[in-house]
Structure 1
């Protein structure tokens, strides 16, 4: 389907050739990225270049301008090798939004208010039209934690939640206490893995704190406990994860 008119009012259109048919049903996830490039125009051009073999449905400039590149009913190529809730083909399940920011490899800075206001408006529109539940509004790092860090710990997930987009709880304060880290083994590590997997992260239940678990803990912290991103499962991280699980519909008291 060639994109001619924007599906979000006020968006510009710049079609990308990098898309295909969705496999399965309609999108039920929203995945947020940062571009990871110093120049926003160059990032948009790359997403619209056949040579790149990457794309997203939407692109948001720092000043709040929104560009649509791929029709929502089509499968954009933004998630890559990823896993969430046991599903690997997250491109088929999601709408991808690229947010202009140099990212960790550049001058990673706060997202401007005008940009976040545009992100919120677009996300509100998408989740309403596609009936996307809050816990399936995710970071690229959530679904690809060993490869990706975006949109990172400076992205204001709390602001989105306050605008009825995404899932969030007040993170527990990092105050020390018992913790688990790479190399640890045993039943507490197994319980931690089970909690992360229950939420959706792609971890196996091995009772061993390995590099995969560490990467998933960092991704979790970037999204839900951004004050300290170190891959160590301290009391604050575990308490925040437990609060998230028990706040899910139908999960009260079960985690």
Structure 2
């Protein structure tokens, strides 16, 4: 892989082996502005790589070092995700810099082609399970939305990057779960989301935190249903992703309750 070099001073030593890949969008007016920010010591942010719209790749931090891209975040019970991950910034204005008509700017084909090649190289060099290829919005659902509902996750999955869950049988009819609902269905949903990796307490109450996590899940897996409510299709997709995670990783770890179950 050919990559330009733009060394950032914003890194330090890792405390853990690499076992995650985190994808972001830059959310700025231009790639030049994003690159300048990640190379500014006062900003205290960086990533290992940045992928430009035309497919160019710039490396800012060596893979054996801890870049500062994840911030306060958690996945599958782990914190300090900067120490565990490779971070890739994809040049795209996203929600912060939408198009004049208010829609999200597309990811050019050549950019995604280059990103796929970069990710495949990272996965070849590091033991990163499919369920630990994540969006910034997955690991920080209360504050981040990148790389956004317009990001082509299915194209990456088809190239062997990340999970590719298979849809199961249709679910039995169920009422939509939303803020204020309580009971066993809510608890099962929370347990399943926690087992997938999201930081979420299984309180049995569909609270604000649950809504934000469901919204993050939908942004990744059901981008046309970005409601924060768990309708029948969302519950079915949670079940499918939960099944793919448990098949990939084995039984849920101690980070998830042993009572975790597929939402019904």
Distance of 2:118 and 2:132 partners within structure 1: 15
Structure 1 length as normaliser, TM-score?
Answer: 0.91
Given the alignment, which residue of 133, 136, 148 partners 1:137? 133
Of 241-250 and 118-127, deviating more is 241-250
How far does residue 177 in structure 1 lie from its aligned partner after superposition? 5.6
Structure 2 counterpart of 1:87: 78
In structure 2, list runs of 5 or more residues that go unmatched.
Answer: 99-103, 252-260
Give the SS at the match of 2:110: helix
Taking the TM superposition and a 5 Å limit, the aligned residue runs for 1:111-130 are 111-130=107-126
CA contact (8 A) 2:193 2:242 kept: no
In structure 1, list runs of 5 or more residues that go unmatched.
Answer: 1-8
How far does residue 169 in structure 1 lie from its aligned partner after superposition? 2.7
Taking the TM superposition and a 5 Å limit, the aligned residue runs for 1:149-160 are 149-160=145-156
How far does residue 228 in structure 1 lie from its aligned partner after superposition? 1.3
Taking the TM superposition and a 5 Å limit, the aligned residue runs for 1:1-255 are 9-24=1-16, 26-107=17-98, 108-169=104-165, 178-247=175-244, 248-249=247-248, 250=250, 255=262
Structure 1 counterpart of 2:101: none
How far does residue 244 in structure 1 lie from its aligned partner after superposition? 1.4
How far does residue 206 in structure 1 lie from its aligned partner after superposition? 0.5
Structure 2 counterpart of 1:5: none
- Number of positions where the alignment pairs a residue of Structure 1 with one of Structure 2: 243
Q: CA RMSD in A?
A: 1.7
Distance of 1:171 and 1:91 partners within structure 2: 32
CA contact (8 A) 2:22 2:134 kept: yes
Give the SS at the match of 1:45: helix
Distance of 2:3 and 2:69 partners within structure 1: 19
How far does residue 171 in structure 1 lie from its aligned partner after superposition? 6.4
Distance of 2:91 and 2:50 partners within structure 1: 7
Give the SS at the match of 2:209: helix
CA contact (8 A) 1:82 1:143 kept: yes
Structure 2 length as normaliser, TM-score?
Answer: 0.88
